[in-house]
Amino acid sequence: MRDTFVATTTDILDEDPRTALVIADISGDAFAPVIRRHPDRAFNVGIREQLMAGVGGGLALTGMRPFLHSYAPFLVDRAYEQIKLDFGHQDTGAVLVSIGASYDAAAEGYTHQSPGDVALLDTLDGWTVHVPGHRDEVPELLRAAARHDGRVYVRLSVQENRRAYTNGSVLKREGGPLVVAVGPMLDPVLEAVQGLGVTVFYVNTPRPLDADNLNALINDEIVVVEPYLAGTSAKVVSDALRGRPHRALHLGPGSAEVRRYGSWRDHARTQGLDPAGLRHSITEFLGT
């Protein structure tokens, strides 16, 4: 996904003179050619994430469309107040593109992980959040984001499904409980619910959440499986289903730090987000 992001963003910068790029050393080598080609609007500000957000905000104030990029904890967590004030409060936008996701950088440790990025953005108004589940979903999301002025967050991951799907795909329709799988959680979810009479709904754009489809697909039970902090979507799901009796289960990584290294697969297993763990949680919830 990261390579696709670099290639697509490079093309967008070559094609659209309104677009700009601001990075803070992360992916500097990959973006070096486009920064050389467009020194007037593609910038590496060094390891300065607050400035990256401020520069993006300033570019947007002059009418340009900035793309910003770093590891999720540096892009979102570290510069949170800049994101809040330098975009939303100024009524401007940008395209923020992160790598690292929740525990992609397992061997790097907790310093390079951000399970809470989407929850942080949920405290702010008007952010569209894309969580692609496959690299082939990335280019169109980025190209669409380049064409307007809104606030967009694209959360890239090394975890991928076997193939790409469009946002809002229904992959299994057997009535019964509705299982919502966000981005790269789809494949583990599909494996986990084999043989269970459920409906599986795929989402790569969880903000805004597709409330109409949730209401159309749900009976009385909903399971949401997200690759970021468990329960991040609890409020928006509750709002979407307001006034409608339902039982809900929200699965995702916990906020407790897992003080181990390894791979993202080790962390997924520990967090109960591998197929076996998901199946256990879902069947227990459904009482099946």
Q: CA angle at residue 282 from 278 to 288, to 5 degrees? A: 135
* Minimum separation from the CB atom of position 84 to other proteins (A): 9
Give yes or no for residue 61 binding other proteins (CB under 8 A): yes
Nearer to other proteins, 90 or 215 (CB): 90
What are the b/e assignments for 20-56, b being 16+ CB within 10 Å?
Answer: bbbbbebbeebbeebbeebeebbbbbeeebbbbbbbb
- Nearest residue to 162 via CA among 137, 142, 139, 144: 137
Task: List C-alpha distances in Å: 204 to 11, 71, 145, 227.
Answer: 23, 19, 14, 11
Instruction: For the chain, give the longest Cα–Cα distance.
Output: 60
Q: Select the span of 82-90, 181-189, 252-260, 275-283 touching other proteins (CB under 8 A).
A: 82-90
CB nearer other proteins, residue 16 or residue 191: 16
DSSP per position, 5-17: HHHHHHHHHHH-T
**In the β-sheet with 94-99, what is the strand arrangement from edge to edge?**
42-44, 19-23, 65-71, 94-99, 151-155, 127-130
What are the residues whose beta carbons fall under 8 Å from the beta carbon of 46, sequence distance 6 or more? 24, 25
Is residue 271 within 8 Å of 250, Cβ to Cβ? no
Taking the C-alpha atoms of residue 177 and residue 187, their distance in angstroms, rounded to an integer, is: 18
- Closest Cα partner for 275 from 284, 265, 263? 265
Residues 89-108 within binding reach of other proteins (CB under 8 A): 89-91
Cα–Cα distance between 169 and 111 in angstroms, integer?
Answer: 34
Shortest approach of other proteins to residue 51 CB, angstroms? 4
As measured in angstroms, the least distance from the Cβ of 85 to other proteins is: 6
Kindly indicate which of the ranges 84-92, 145-153, 172-180, 262-270 contains the residues binding other proteins, using the contact rule CB under 8 A: 84-92
Q: Which stretch binds other proteins (CB under 8 A): 46-54, 126-134, 171-179, 229-237?
A: 46-54
Question: Hey, how many other C-beta atoms are within 10 angstroms of the C-beta on 75?
Answer: 28
Among 1, 10, 27, 41, which residue sits at the site for other proteins (rule: CB under 8 A)? 41
State the minimum distance, in angstroms, from the CB of residue 95 to other proteins: 14
User: In this chain, which stretch among 37-45, 96-104, 218-226, 279-287 interacts with other proteins, using CB under 8 A?
Assistant: 37-45
Binding residues for other proteins, rule CB under 8 A, total 30
Nearer to other proteins, 14 or 81 (CB): 81
Nearer to other proteins, 48 or 250 (CB): 48
Q: How far is the CB of 114 from other proteins (least distance, A)?
A: 20
Distance CA 144, CA 2 (A): 18
| CB of 62 or CB of 194, closer to other proteins | 62
Residue 56 as a binder of other proteins (CB under 8 A): the answer is yes
Q: Provide the minimum distance between the beta carbon of 56 and other proteins in the complex, in angstroms, as a whole number.
A: 6
Residue from the set 63, 195, 243, 245 that interacts with other proteins by CB under 8 A: 63
Residues that bind other proteins (CB under 8 A): 20, 22, 40-41, 43, 45-46, 48, 50-51, 53-64, 66, 81-82, 85-86, 89-91
